[in-house]
Amino acid sequence: MKKELLMASALVGTMGVASVAEAVTATFSGNHRVGVEFDSPSASTDTNAVIEQSSFAVSLTETTDAGTTIASSFNLANESDGLSNATALTLTFTDGTKLDIFNAGNAAAGHDVSVPGSAGEEGVTVTTTNNAPTGLDFQSGATELGVEWHSAADFLADGLKVSASLSTDTGAAATATARADSHWALGATYVTDAGDTAITFGTGVSSTDYSKTGTSLTQNAGGFHIGVSAVTGDLTIAVGFGDGDSVNDDGAVANGASSTQVDGEVVKAGVKYVTGDMTLQLGIVSGSAKDSDTIGTAGTNEDSYDKTSASVSYAVASGITAILGFSDVESSDEAANDTSDGSAWYIGANMAF
């Protein structure tokens, strides 16, 4: 018991926490979306459905006597029917650096460039075994037992910020489905000006080790992404590229396992223009991949995913935005046309607070 008390006293002294527990400062935000989606699959009957999505985020923060800020947050979302806690416990130090601990995340994923696309909630579902990537950081992976360090602004050079993350094995027993054992990642964002244009470069590299019972994986996940965004007045143009390997769960596959190794790449590009209360967005995504039908056997046929999306958003009142969105997807699975692709429309409103 004496050892536990000494450890607790050391932790309190290190963090500079006051000895009397008091309520932290809490703030909240969220949104509620209501709309109608009209789906037109390429090989089945058109459908429509009402879509309702709500989220409520609570941020908790307090500053110690030593000047260190301790923060965390959680979300209540109707999509998950309960509590969603995707954030870490974050310590912000007086020199501007930050340290995320527990559920810290992936430093590479935190530095991908935001590429415009439709602001609507329309979705086009493709075959579940189509593993063509659609996000720049598709190769990222981490366990909940990790830490992520963030530099202060202007690290080594004006406009530069960097991050590094590590995570380790949870200790869970291996199963037929591959699980992440450990990971490391590095990320960087650089912001500069070129006349009236603000330019942002973002890049990241990551590697994740996996394990499973039975046949071992021939490769683990990892890769890189890079992107650039340029903002001139009300116009934003962005483009990004990602390449690497991932491990996906496709359900049962030929060898009785449920994990698939994927070697893929993706290109994203988009443009956004704001004029008065109206925002116009247009984006494209083009991904391709070769996946294995059994762990240890390299794929030869290609999965593909090509999406074009656009939206018009109008600010009706403070915090209320009307949205009209459209997406069209063409895809193939193992080099065969995917009959579940197609197009979709969305019309709805978002209420933010």
Rounded CA-CA distance 131/287 in Å is 9
Q: Residue 182: what pLDDT? A: 86
Q: Residue 13: what pLDDT? A: 45
**pTM score over 0.85:** no
Domains of the chain and any CATH numbers: 32-352 (2.40.160.10)
Q: Are 201 and 190 in contact (CB under 8 A)?
A: yes
Please, which pLDDT band fits residue 12 given cuts at 50, 70 and 90? very low
Rounded CA-CA distance 36/76 in Å is 23
Q: Residue 301: what pLDDT? A: 82
Q: Is residue 19's pLDDT more than 50?
A: no
Query: What confidence tens digit (pLDDT) does each residue in 294-305 have?
Result: 455 556 788 899
Q: Is residue 201's pLDDT more than 90?
A: yes
If 0-12 CB within 10 Å is exposed, 13-18 middle and 19+ buried, where does residue 339 land? Answer: middle
Q: Is residue 284's pLDDT more than 50?
A: yes
CA-closest candidate to residue 278, choices 224, 344, 234, 212: 234
Q: Is residue 278's pLDDT more than 90?
A: yes
CA-closest candidate to residue 329, choices 347, 352, 303, 298: 303
Report DSSP letters for 179-208, one per residue: EEEEEEEEEEEEEEEETTEEEEEEEEEEEE
Please, which pLDDT band fits residue 211 given cuts at 50, 70 and 90? confident
As a whole number, mean pLDDT of residues 277-283 equals 97
Query: What confidence tens digit (pLDDT) does each residue in 86-113 have?
Result: 677 899 999 999 999 988 888 998 899 9
Q: Are 268 and 257 in contact (CB under 8 A)?
A: no
- The alpha-helical segments, DSSP class H, found in the chain are 2-15
CA-closest candidate to residue 183, choices 235, 142, 155: 142
Residues 11-22, buried b or exposed e (16+ Cβ, 10 A)?
A: eeeeeebeeeee
Query: What confidence tens digit (pLDDT) does each residue in 239-270 have?
Result: 999 999 888 766 555 444 567 788 899 999 99
- The rounded percent of the chain whose pLDDT value lies above 90 is 53
The rounded Cα 91 to chain-centroid distance in angstroms is: 22
